[in-house]
Amino acid sequence: MPFDRYNRDIDYLRISLTDACNLRCVYCMPEQMTFRPRDELLSDAELHRLIGIFASVGFRKIRFTGGEPTLRAGLVDLVSHAAQTPGIETIGLTTNGILLEGLAAPLRAAGLRSVNISLDTLDPEKFRRITRWGKLDRVLAGLDAAAGAGLRVKLNAVVSRGTNDREDVIALARYTLEQPWQVRFIEQMPFGNNAVFQHKSIVAEEELRAVLAEAYGPLELVNHGRLDGEARLYRIAGAAGCIGFISPVSKPFCADCNRLRLTAEGVLRLCLLRDNEIDLRPLLRNGADDEALATRIREAVYDKPWGHGLGEQVIPARGMSEIGG
């Protein structure tokens, strides 16, 4: 098991498959973006090799993300390869859902078990505004296909005051009445390229719970408040699914952090919100053997910083789409 210097068991790797995206969510990236050329990204073969090495070091969970991971041509094969890697027990995918309709069944057959779909509103016009041009019906078709294929579904909504902090939260939470899904509300975080971030746009989870309680009655705490990943879970009385709150700014969960992140060009990021990084690509491309890479990964785990520094105005230079959420 890989433990860091604070005795946290780090066994979860989020892999960004591309920095490119087919949307431009206002809190994630500017409208004019230049993406990396294909040869700067890790190849499928390099990713296969790295996943094997991470598994040998003790990593058990992989999540593919981006940018938009469904833009990566080899996604289904990458999932299949990861699912067959000894030691890897869980594979997840985080997607905007736009291309999911045609991919959900092949991904399920390849070994994917769960999918996180980002969806901030059920209002088509507002969805278009937030994503700058996205079509909500594509995401809803992807969501149907995912549920129909037997994937466990989590919905992730980034909540911003004045944009989607009331009716949209109530409408999204309604899914949990009938569906065994988790609908999770996420605080917006500041990144270097995120000009729209403002502290006052963060909506505290207490406030969202009050909005939901007004609509559905008091929420019941699930799991005695123990975090599920990074989410604190609640349930509307009698509901099939859960409502989660992910509050990295107002209620940091750094003590429970169990993950590293790999950018699409092979940089290992030790904390989402700090710029401590280790570039694995030179090792990969200059002939390092598996043991040398494994040693570098173990050192990286050990050096993982304790927590973010948002309170001291430490803002990451890279954007969320480059790091992979």
Give the number of other Cβ atoms within 10 Å of residue 166's Cβ: 18
Question: If we measure between CA atoms, which residue out of 126, 124, 208 comes closest to residue 163?
Answer: 126
- Quote the CA–CA distance of 231 and 176 in Å, as a whole number: 15
Out of 3, 24, 129, 258, name the contact with ligand SF4 by CB under 6 A: 24
Tokens of 189: 């975080």
Q: Would you count residue 267 as binding ligand SF4 (CB under 6 A)? A: no
For the chain, how far is it from start to end, CA to CA, in angstroms?
24
Candidate list 19, 68, 205, 265; residue touching ligand SAM; CB under 6 A: 68
CB-based burial, 116-140: b 16+ in 10 Å, e otherwise: bbbbbbbeeebbeebbeebebebbb
Inter-CA distances, 64 with 19, 116, 194, 228, Å: 12, 10, 23, 19
Q: Give the residue with the Cβ less far from ligand SF4, 85 or 164.
A: 164
One residue of 4, 19, 27, 280 binding ligand SAM per CB under 6 A? 27
52 binding ligand SAM? (CB under 6 A): no
96 scored as a contact of ligand SF4 (CB under 6 A): yes
Distance CA 116, CA 95 (A): 6
Stretch that binds ligand SF4, among 25-33, 46-54, 73-81, 256-264 (CB under 6 A): 25-33
Which listed option, ligand SF4, ligand SAM, none, makes contact with residue 24 (CB within 5 to 8 Å by class)? ligand SF4
Query: According to the binding rule CB under 6 A, does residue 29 interact with ligand SF4?
Result: yes
320 makes contact with ligand SAM (CB under 6 A): yes
Which of 107, 100, 14, 106 is CA-nearest to residue 54?
Answer: 14
- Report if residue 321 touches ligand SF4, rule: CB under 6 A: yes
CB atoms within 10 A of CB 254: 16
Nearer to ligand SAM (CB atom), residue 94 or residue 176 = 94
Cα 86 to Cα 57, 83, 93, 170, 313: the distances in Å are 12, 8, 19, 42, 41
Contact status: 16 vs ligand SF4 (CB under 6 A): no
Residue 6 or 35 with smaller CB distance to ligand SF4: 35
For ligand SAM, the closer CB: 26 or 284:
26
Please give the radius of gyration of the chain, using alpha carbons only, rounded to the nearest integer: 19
Distance of CA 267 to the CA centre of its chain: 17
Number of residues that bind ligand SF4 (CB under 6 A): 12
21 binds ligand SAM, rule: CB under 6 A? yes
Q: Which is nearer to ligand SAM, 18 or 53 (CB)?
A: 18
Q: How many residues bind ligand SAM (CB under 6 A)?
A: 20
Can you read off the two tokens belonging to residue 245? Answer: 């709150």
Does the footprint of ligand SAM cover residue 95 (CB under 6 A)? yes
Chosen from ligand SF4, ligand SAM, none, partner binding at 65 (C-beta under 5 to 8 Å by type): ligand SAM
* C-alpha–C-alpha distance, residues 294 and 103, integer Å: 32
CA distances from 205 to 57, 211, 220, 235 (A): 36, 10, 14, 14
Site string (110-129) toward ligand SF4, x via CB under 6 A:
--------x-----------
Q: Which does 85 bind (CB under 5 to 8 A by kind): ligand SAM, ligand SF4, none?
A: none
Q: Between vectors from CA 57 to CA 278 and to CA 82, what angle results, nearest 5°? A: 90
Q: Interface with ligand SF4 by CB under 6 A: which residues?
A: 21, 23-25, 28-29, 66-68, 96, 118, 321
Query: What residues make contact with ligand SAM under the rule CB under 6 A?
Result: 21, 27-28, 65-66, 68, 94-96, 118, 156, 158, 186, 188-189, 191, 194, 320-321, 325
